[in-house]
Chain A
Amino acid sequence: MTKLLEWLGGAGALGAIWLALLTNKIENPFFRDHYTFLLLSPIIVVGLFGLASLLLVLYRVYTFNDCNDAAAELQKEIVEAKQDLKSLGFKFKDSFK
């Protein structure tokens, strides 16, 4: 089964429950008393999910490792490599000394 079908299946199942609650096919005292909440719940769920995702992304951007050491080490190795390669007889292009 493709991910698309999984998502459609999941959304369909949740949507069916929601509709059943909305049309009172499933009796539930809580949702009967909070009808607008039930009506808006899909939007609330999607909104909260979006907000959580946004916060998670920002947190991950903030905690993304900056590999400054790796970059500095590489710079040193480039110098070393060029010297060694020259001594092995490698001819670098003129634009690159």
Chain B
Amino acid sequence: MTATLSFRLYLLLLLSLTCPTMAPNNKYSILLPTYNEVENLPIIIWLLVKHMNSSGHPYEIIIIDDGSPDGTLEAAEQLQRIYGKEKIVLRPREKKLGLGTAYIHGVKHATGNFVIIMDADLSHHPKFIKEMIEKQKSNDYDVVTGTRYVGTGGVYGWDFRRKLISRGANLLTQILLRPAVSDLTGSFRLYKKDVLESLTNSCISKGYVFQMEMIIRARQKNYTIGEVPISFVDRVYGESKLGGSEIVQFVRGLVYLFATT
């Protein structure tokens, strides 16, 4: 019993030593859309570089700035000079064209076979990327999504009202759409590049309803989805928003997905 096991391990070792091509050379392209994130950008880049370097995975960070008036792009250029053009790729656009198209734009320039999308406002911590990559590998998932609602996942800086809206909206979505994914509106995710491309092409929603549509369409297309608990720390710099118009947007998005998927 133990003999056959160690023999197998030995074979595996031999294999991995003799044919290094067995281990696929994965590269991770991190898409960072920014709009007025001049304070947050240097910090998030510093954290990304720190955690990605220590994880040892090849990566690039693609910054998609939409003509932020606060000088985000100049900060990005400085960071590119510090960390190099290999690691920091700038793909700015003239004006604010929205998150959904920012991803489409960014993915066109991605050279990795995996793409990670995250917010630049420090609500998504780069330390979770390593866990997402491991999760992806564990089952060859097409998508891995961060979740605030399960296990060690959670939030910081939310009052009762915000939690109530978030939990209520989530339960309503769970009942109506039965997505088998716990966090639908989160935007911290890892995709196989071709999967992300095919999804962005079939999603038409705007704002964070876009994230919800992406994951629902992923289910519809039978892509496999893994989840990693994340702690979500509400933006430190800049104003956070959850007003009436966000709620109206959400309800419209939910009705749209209810009727079309």
> Which A residues have a C-beta under 8 Å from some C-beta of B?
2-4, 7, 53, 56-57, 60-61, 64-68, 70-71, 74-75, 77-78, 81-82, 84-85, 88-93, 96
- Cα distance, A96 to B153, chains bound together (Å): 31
**Which of chain B's residues 10-61 have a Cβ closer than 8 Å to chain A?**
38-39, 42-43, 46-47
User: Quick check: A67 and B233 within 8 Å, CB to CB?
Assistant: yes
- Cα distance, A78 to B40, chains bound together (Å): 9
User: Quick check: B122 and A61 within 8 Å, CB to CB?
Assistant: no
Choose among B47, B163, B177 the residue that contacts A3 (Cβ–Cβ < 8 A): B177
User: Quick check: A2 and B260 within 8 Å, CB to CB?
Assistant: yes
User: Quick check: B46 and A85 within 8 Å, CB to CB?
Assistant: yes
User: Quick check: B39 and A96 within 8 Å, CB to CB?
Assistant: yes
Interface size class of B (residues with CB under 8 A): 35 or more
Of the 9-residue stretches B109-117, B154-162, B194-202, B243-251, which lies at the interface with chain A?
B154-162
Residues of A within 8 A of B125 (CB): 70, 74
Residues of B within 8 A of A81 (CB): 42-43, 46-47
Q: A53-B175, A61-B164, A66-B154 are in contact. List 16 more A-B contacts (CB 8 A).
A: A2-B259, A3-B176, A3-B178, A3-B257, A53-B171, A56-B171, A64-B155, A67-B231, A70-B156, A71-B157, A81-B42, A88-B82, A89-B82, A92-B42, A93-B70, A96-B39
- Cα distance, A75 to B231, chains bound together (Å): 14
What's the nearest-Cβ distance from chain A to residue B35, in Å? Answer: 16
User: Quick check: A66 and B156 within 8 Å, CB to CB?
Assistant: yes
User: Quick check: A70 and B233 within 8 Å, CB to CB?
Assistant: yes
User: Quick check: A65 and B47 within 8 Å, CB to CB?
Assistant: no
Choose among A56, A67, A74, A92 the residue that contacts B236 (Cβ–Cβ < 8 A): A74
Q: Given the interface contacts A3-B176, A57-B168, A90-B78, does A65 sit within 8 Å of B154 by beta carbon?
A: yes
What's the nearest-Cβ distance from chain A to residue B211, in Å? Answer: 18
- Cα distance, A3 to B163, chains bound together (Å): 26
User: Quick check: A65 and B152 within 8 Å, CB to CB?
Assistant: yes
User: Quick check: B38 and A96 within 8 Å, CB to CB?
Assistant: yes
- Cα distance, A71 to B168, chains bound together (Å): 24
- Cα distance, A57 to B165, chains bound together (Å): 9
- Cα distance, A75 to B125, chains bound together (Å): 12
Q: Does B167 belong to the interface (CB within 8 Å)? A: yes
User: Quick check: A71 and B42 within 8 Å, CB to CB?
Assistant: no
What's the nearest-Cβ distance from chain B to residue A93, in Å? Answer: 6
Q: Given the interface contacts A61-B164, A90-B78, A93-B71, does A4 sit within 8 Å of B259 by beta carbon?
A: yes
User: Quick check: B42 and A65 within 8 Å, CB to CB?
Assistant: no
Q: Does B7 belong to the interface (CB within 8 Å)? A: no
Residue with the highest number of chain A CB atoms closer than 10 Å, among B70, B152, B156, B177 = B156
Q: Does B232 belong to the interface (CB within 8 Å)? A: yes
User: Quick check: A67 and B42 within 8 Å, CB to CB?
Assistant: no
What's the nearest-Cβ distance from chain A to residue B107, in Å? Answer: 27
- Cα distance, A78 to B47, chains bound together (Å): 9
Q: Which residue of B lies closest to A84 (CB)?
A: B46
Show 29 A/B contacts (Cβ-Cβ < 8 Å), sorted by A.
A3-B176, A3-B178, A3-B257, A4-B258, A4-B259, A7-B258, A53-B171, A53-B175, A64-B155, A64-B158, A64-B167, A65-B152, A65-B155, A66-B154, A66-B156, A67-B155, A70-B125, A70-B154, A70-B231, A71-B157, A74-B122, A74-B125, A81-B43, A82-B42, A82-B43, A89-B78, A90-B79, A93-B38, A93-B75
